[in-house]
Amino acid sequence: MNTTTCDLLVIGAGSGGLSLAAGASQMGADVILLEAHKMGGDCLNYGCVPSKALLAASHIAHAQANAAAFGVANHAPEVDYPATKHHVQQVIDTIAPVDSQERFESLGVRVIRAHGRFVSPAEVEAGDTRIRARRIVIATGSRPLVPPIPGLEDVPYLTNETLWDLKERPAHLIIIGGGPIGLEMAQAHCRLGSKVTVLEAQRALGRDDPEAAALVLDRLRGDGIDIREQTAAEAVRQQGTEIVVDTGAGPVTGSHLLVAVGRAANTEGLDLEVSDVEVTPAGIHVDAGLRTTNPKVYAIGDAAGQGQFTHLAGYHASVVIRTLLFGLPAKIKTDHIPRATYTDPELAQVGLTETEARDRYGDRLEVARFDYTHNDRAIATRQTAGFIKVMVVRGRPVGATIAGHQAGELIATWSLAIANRMKMSQMAAMVAPYPTIAELNKRVAGAYFSPRLFENAGIKRVVRLVQRWLP
C-alpha cells in the first residue's frame, strides 16, 4: 500500500469535482482527484450533454414535418435512430477532452482512477494508495433512483444511464416519471418516431408553476405523447416480447420501459461510517458552507442533497474554494439558482414561483407579465406560445417563471438580477437588440412600470403642466 499526502482530495470527477480540482490546482494547491468510472461524470456521459444532443436531433425531425407555415413543404422525416445515437456520441466525444484525465494532469492535478473509501476521518484508500489530505471534498454525484415497483427487477428497463446504449428505436416507449428527464426523453423519442406513454403518479412537472407546466404539457400532448397524470405504476411484468405496466386505470403495454422518477445521491461504498460524516435520505448533511459533520470534509453537488443540477455543482465548487484555499468564510445561497426543462417549448424558473411568493409576501407581491405573442421575433419564427412573469417585492425581483422558446437562455438574466439584488428599474434600463427573444426580459420590466406611468393621474397632470411651459 502506497501512502501519499495532499492539500485537497476531491472524490468524484463530475462537474463539481472537476471545477474544484482545476481551480484549486491552478491557484497553487496540491490536489488529488479520484474517479472510479468516467471522467465528466453523469452530465457529460449520461445526462445533460447526450439528452440535449438527442433533443436537437428530434427538433430537426419535427421542423421537417412542420415546415408548411413557412412556405416550405412538409416532409415526413426519415429517422435513422442509430445515426442519431452516433450524433449523440460525437457530441460527447467533442466535449470529453475538456474533462479528460490528460487535461487535468496538465493542470497539475494528480488523477487516480480508482474507487475511494474512507479508512479514517482524514484518510481515504483508492486502489493501492492511501491518501491523507488536509481537506476532503465529496463530489460523487447521483444515480438514477429505481423505485420498488413489484416485478421491475425482472424486466429489461432503461434509465438515463443505459438509454444511450440503445441503438434500436423503441416502437412504444413507456416512461415512468413525468419530471424534466422523463418529459424531455418523451418528446425526443416521439419526434423521432416512437409511440410514447408517460405515467406520472402525481402531477407532471409538479415542481413548476402550474400555468407554465400546463403550457408545456399541452404542446407535448399535441405532439402525440400520451401523458397520464395521477397514474401510478403498480407492477411491471414481461408478456412475450412486450413490457406491461399495470396501473389503477388498467395495463399499459409497450416495447421498452424507461424509469425516470428521480435521482439518489451516491454515498454508498464510501464507508462514511468511519469518517464521522452524517448522511441523510437526501444526501450528505452539510451546513451553509457545505461542510459536513466532519470539519475536514465537505460535500458539493448532487452528493450534498441541495439539488441536482450541473450548474449548482459548479456553483458549490466556487463557494467552497474560498474556504479551502484562503480560509475565508463562504455560504451558499439558493434563491438565484435557476432550473430549466429543455422541452419545446422550454420551461425555466429562478427564485420563487408565484404561489411560493404569495405565500411568503402576501399583498406585498406584484406580478409582472409579458406574453410571447407580443414579441416580434417570436412572431417572425412562429414561436409565440409562452409567457414570462416576474414576481416583484418592493421593486426587486424575487422570482421569475418563463415558459416558451429559449426560456433556459432568458432565465439567466433573472438569476443575475436576483443574485445582485437588482431593481426592476435597472432591468428596464437594459437595451436588447431588435428583434430578439431577449427583448422579453426588458418588456416584462416595462410591464411592471406601465401602470405607474400610464395609469397615474398625477403623472398626466405633470406632463400637461410641463407641456404648457415648454417653448
How far, in Å, CA of 356 to CA of 373, rounded? 26
CATH code that applies to domain 152-261: 3.50.50.60
Q: What is the pLDDT of residue 87?
A: 98
- With a CB cutoff of 8 Å and minimum separation 6, the contacts of 262 are 145, 177, 179
Task: Spell out the per-residue pLDDT of the chain, length 471, in tens.
Answer: 899 999 999 999 999 999 999 999 999 999 999 999 999 999 999 999 999 999 999 999 999 999 999 999 999 999 999 999 999 999 999 999 999 999 999 999 999 999 999 999 999 999 999 999 999 999 999 999 999 999 999 999 999 999 999 999 999 999 999 999 999 999 999 999 999 999 999 999 999 999 999 999 999 999 999 999 999 999 999 999 999 999 999 999 999 999 999 999 999 999 999 999 999 999 999 999 999 999 999 999 999 998 889 999 999 999 999 999 999 999 999 999 999 999 999 999 999 999 999 999 999 999 999 999 999 999 999 999 999 999 999 999 999 999 999 999 999 999 999 999 999 999 999 999 999 999 999 999 999 998 876 677 777 888 888 888 888
Q: What is the pLDDT of residue 462?
A: 82
CB within 8 Å of 270: residues ≥ 6 apart: 11, 116, 117, 118, 138, 140
The per-residue pLDDT for 146 is: 95
Residue 448 has a pLDDT of 94
pLDDT at position 453: 67
What is the third-level CATH fold of 2-39+100-144+264-326?
Answer: FAD/NAD(P)-binding domain (3.50.50)
CA distances from 154 to 49, 149, 236, 256 (A): 30, 10, 8, 13
To 5 degrees, how large is the angle CA 186–CA 188–CA 189? 70
The predicted pLDDT at position 457 comes to 78
- Crossing angle of helices 439-454 and 407-419, rounded to 10°: 60
Cα torsion 459, 465, 466, 467: sign:
positive
Asked whether 62 and 191 are in contact (CB, 8 A), the reply is yes
Residue ranges of the domains in the chain? 2-39+100-144+264-326, 152-261, 339-454
What's residue 463's pLDDT? 80
Quick one: CATH architecture of 339-454?
2-Layer Sandwich (3.30)
Query: Rounded to whole angstroms, how far apart are CA atoms 391 and 418?
Result: 11
What is the per-residue pLDDT for 459?
75
Evaluate whether 2-39+100-144+264-326 and 339-454 have a shared fold.
no
- The amino acid that residue 25 corresponds to is S
Please state at what angle helix 439-454 crosses helix 457-469, rounded to 10 degrees: 80
Distance CA 44, CA 53 (A): 11
